């Protein structure tokens, strides 16, 4: 009742960070659904000639299709689900612990969490992940990827950048 008289407590930023993760998952789902509905499997739509295309492929393996041609694809699928789920849980726990502030690290973790959840969803629901962003740089064809993959990589790059920045000395 007299709560407004108490000094304000430090606001939690965790809901905003979880909103970043949720937006990542939503954007990932929307783009994969759109590609699956509008681009025939194996087909593509040129965006920038000889550089960028929207294609429609699925990936049964890990990053860069590692383990995609395994003799036991179901084992690979569930191992990837388990690993990504465990990683997402660890990232969520870190976000909860660091949820009082928004910074490079927490935004990076929110992006990684959203990307992990997006790809785990596909592996559980469909057995594979839809990849649709196809990039060609001169004669190099970069492996196709999706929004979830992009967010994980962006998050990892932000963590790398943060680790390279000079650290402020804490007051003792």
Known catalytic residue at 149: yes
Beta strands in the chain (DSSP E): 44-48, 52-59, 129-137, 140-145
- At CA 77, angle to CA 122 and CA 120, rounded to 5? 30
Measured CA to CA in angstroms, residue 44 lies from 29, 52, 148 at distances of: 19, 10, 19
- Considering 28, 60, 131, 144, which one is annotated as catalytic? 131
Contact yes or no for 132/39 (Cβ under 8 A): yes
Contact by Cβ (8 Å): 119, 129 = yes
Distance (Å, rounded) from C-alpha 80 to C-alpha 69?
A: 14
60 touches 53 (CB < 8 A):
no
Tokens of 99: 């949820």
Is 131 a catalytic site residue?
A: yes
At residue 37, φ and ψ (nearest 5 deg) are -85, -25
Catalytic residue among 28, 60, 122, 149: 149
Residues known to be catalytic: 131, 149
């Amino acid at each position: 009742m007299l709560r407004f008289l108490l000094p304000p407590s430090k606001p939690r930023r965790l809901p905003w960070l979880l909103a970043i993760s949720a937006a990542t998952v939503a954007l990932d789902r929307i783009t994969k659904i759109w590609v699956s509905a509008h681009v025939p499997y194996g087909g593509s739509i040129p965006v920038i000639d000889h550089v960028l295309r929207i294609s429609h492929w699925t990936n049964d393996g890990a990053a860069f299709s590692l383990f995609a041609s395994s003799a036991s694809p179901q084992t690979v699928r569930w191992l990837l689900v388990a690993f990504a789920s465990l990683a997402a849980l660890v990232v969520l726990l870190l976000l909860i612990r660091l949820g009082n502030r928004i910074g490079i690290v927490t935004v990076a973790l929110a992006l990684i969490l959203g990307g992990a959840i997006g790809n785990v969803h596909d592996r559980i629901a469909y057995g594979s992940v839809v990849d649709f962003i196809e990039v060609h740089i001169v004669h190099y064809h970069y492996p196709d990827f999706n929004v979830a993959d992009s967010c994980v990589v962006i998050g990892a790059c932000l963590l790398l950048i943060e680790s390279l920045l000079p650290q402020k000395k804490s007051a003792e």
